[in-house]
Amino acid sequence: MVAHYAIHNEAYWKIVLHALKYPHLAVNGLLVGSLHKEGGDKITIVDAVPVAHGQVTLGMVMEAALLQTEAAFQDKNLRIVGYYHANERQGDRELPQLAKKLGDKLGTYFSPTCVLLVDNMKLTPPGDHVALRLYTTDARNQWRLGEETSLSMADPNPLGMLKDHVAEHRYHQLHDFEDHLEDVTRDWLNRDVFT
């Protein structure tokens, strides 16, 4: 049975705002959520942790972010269920090597891990379409683009409210783990971004 992924608004918004904050760079991060088995695997993506921008292929920041994300969410019975990535170039829809590598790594801790690739073309303008492409591994552990029905939005009105967030330049208030390392007072959990 094919796994189904549902993503909550705040997680989706964080991913998009992260990409919009650094429009000329690749960005990446982690997906946090939980798994239910009800006639197949149902994964709910509750939150997204933005990790890096620019030189996303360097390993140390992701390593530190992974460890801290696990530590931060373990009390709430939430785990790292996937990885997200936005390519540097607008028209680039290819799943990069880094995403596959990190997806594989996360897959050793949680299955079925997913990779969400931001569809940059659908961010111009943001808020007209859901700008995500879901990838999962097949029986031979190769990363494949999932069916459109495998990913759904868990909450109502994700796009309308996103338009508001973008109009208010809310990406200025979003901090990724790299931003946090520059100044630890910046909250990489982004708990107050949408309040």
Partner 1 sequence: AMSDVDVDRQLMQLNETPERDRDPGVVGTLLRRLRELHVRRSDLVARHGGWVLRTHRGVLGDEVYNVAEQVFLAALDIHDMELAGECLSLVRRTFPGSTRVRRLEAMQYEAQGDWDRALEVYSDLLHTDETDVVSMKRWIAVLRAQGRVDEAVAKLCDYLKLFQADLAAWLELADMYLSEMDYARAAFCLEEALLHAPHNYLFHLKYAEVLFTLGGPENYRLARKYFAQSLDLKPKDNARALYGLFLTSSYGKGRRDKEEVPTEKILEWSRQQLVDLYRQKAPEKVEIVRRMTE
Assess 195 for contact with partner 1 (CB under 8 A). Answer: no
Per-residue b or e along 21-42, where b marks 16 or more CB atoms closer than 10 Å to that residue's CB = bbeeebbbbbbbbbeeeeeeee
Total residues in contact with partner 1, by rule CB under 8 A:
30
Residue length of the chain: 195
Q: Assess contact for 164 and 13: CB atoms under 8 A.
A: no
Assess 104 for contact with partner 1 (CB under 8 A). Answer: no
Assess 34 for contact with partner 1 (CB under 8 A). Answer: no
Assess 139 for contact with partner 1 (CB under 8 A). Answer: no
Residue closer to partner 1, measured from CB, 104 or 187: 187
Give the containing element (helix H, strand E) for 44.
strand 41-53
Residue 82 structure tokens: 């996937």
Q: At what angle do helices 9-21 and 158-167 cross, to 10 degrees?
A: 40
The residue from 2, 67, 121, 167 that contacts partner 1 (CB under 8 A) is: 67
The residue from 60, 140, 156, 192 that contacts partner 1 (CB under 8 A) is: 60
* Binding residues for partner 1 (CB under 8 A): 24, 26, 54-55, 57-61, 63-64, 67-68, 71-72, 74, 88-89, 92, 97-98, 169, 172, 180-185, 187
